[in-house]
Amino acid sequence: MSQIRALIVDDSSVMRKIVERSLRQAGLDLSSVMEAGNGAEALGILDANPVDLILSDINMPVMDGLEFVRQLQTVEKLRGVPVVMITTEGSESNVVQALSLGAKGYIRKPFTPDQVKEHVLPVLGL
Amino acid sequence: MTPFSESSIAIAVFDRTAWTPLLELSAREVFDIMLSTKLQAFDKSADLNDGEFTALVGLAGSLCGVLSIRCNDQAARTMASKMLGMPEEDVDNDSWDALGEIANMIAGNFKGKLSGVGNQCMLSVPTIIVGTDYETRSLRGGNMIEVVFGFEGKPLWVSLELHE
């Protein structure tokens, strides 16, 4: 995969910027980065904009990350898009649930750019 | 967020001796990893008015209460600057957002360090309070841990207040 179109879903604009910076530090060639503040907003963006990678927080207002992943699986064109959860949750249960719903990996906050690289590149087959 | 039935929740027993160093470690790790900054020790008698920004994160479940962090405007601005890798003069409302996100990460990191607690404790999205002219009332039967750090020479309060 050469150029990657990414969608970052997090209610914190600071965290969205940090995730984007970490993806670039991981060596990903990003052709576009879109941002959404919650799952519902992300679904709206995905309706008109194809992406290759989604990174999503779990704990968000309006629509949380678990419901977002669940909804993604109901849309055929979005079902195959790899999703990596980014969470502050110390709990395994939310992570296990996200993976069972279709997420391909997870990163726990706080994280280093190396951890982003370690978790994101495999789901892209890189 | 995974809901859980009330009957399945094991309420954690407050342990100040064990939890205080874990709260301290949780804060230090977040600043170390996300801001590349070592938090310093700070005199506990720091002026309480030097903290007009407060970020609150609610905890519910096996831990029930509030985690808060408090600092002044300059410290919050510096935190955002360090998190984003941008000059302080370019930071605007990002400082509020950064403070909330730091509180969120400290809370998540802390509960993850408590064996068997993390799975049954949910976090709220952060709330930010600006100003010092407010009062807080202790939770009925509550317990509180407060740690004061030095961040760039300014005080940073990290508090955990829990219901019995």
Give the mean pLDDT per block of 10 residues along chain B (164 residues).
53 85 96 95 72 90 91 93 92 89 95 79 89 69 88 93 83
All domains in chain B, ordered by first residue: 40-162 (3.40.1550.10)
Whether the full predicted model's pTM is greater than 0.80, yes or no, is yes
What is the amino acid identity at position A32?
Answer: S
Q: What range does the domain containing A18 cover?
A: 4-120
Residue A125, in any domain of the structure: no
Which pLDDT belongs to residue A61?
92
Residue A126, in any domain of the structure: no
| Out of A14, A58, A109, closest to residue B98 by CB | A14
> What are φ and ψ of residue A124, in 5° steps?
-95, 0
Determine whether the interchain pair B125/A93 forms a contact, defined as Cβ–Cβ distance below 8 Å: no
Chain B CB contacts of A111 under 8 Å are 33-34
| B80 vs A90: which has the higher pLDDT | B80
Question: What's the rounded Cα separation, in Å, for the pair A66 and A43?
Answer: 13
Long-range contacts at B46-50 (CB < 8 A, ≥ 24 apart): B46/B148, B46/B155, B46/B157, B47/B155, B48/B132, B49/B132, B50/B154, B50/B155
Q: Which of A126, A118, A83, A112 lies closest to A22 in space, CA to CA?
A: A112
Q: Is B156 on the interface with A (CB under 8 A)?
A: no
pLDDT digits (tens, 9 = 90+) for A25-71: 989 999 999 999 999 999 999 999 999 999 999 989 999 999 999 99
What is the amino acid identity at position A119?
Answer: H
Residue A79, in any domain of the structure: yes
Maximum Cα–Cα distance across chain B: 51
Q: Which two tokens stand for residue A39?
A: 């799952």
Instruction: Give the chain B residue whose CA is nearest to the CA of A68.
Output: B1
Q: For strand A30-36 and strand A4-9, is the pairing parallel, antiparallel, or unpaired? A: parallel
Instruction: Give the chain B residue whose CA is nearest to the CA of A12.
Output: B97
What was the ipTM of the complex prediction? 0.85
Determine whether the interchain pair B111/A90 forms a contact, defined as Cβ–Cβ distance below 8 Å: yes
- Min Cα distance B40 → chain A (Å) is 19
Determine whether the interchain pair B120/A91 forms a contact, defined as Cβ–Cβ distance below 8 Å: yes
Q: What is the CATH number of the domain that holds A53?
A: 3.40.50.2300
Among the residues of B42-145, which ranges form H helices?
73-84, 94-113
Instruction: Answer whether A88's CB lies under 8 Å from A59's CB.
Output: yes
Q: Is B100 on the interface with A (CB under 8 A)?
A: yes
Which pLDDT belongs to residue B9?
63
Question: What total of structural domains would you count in chain A?
Answer: 1
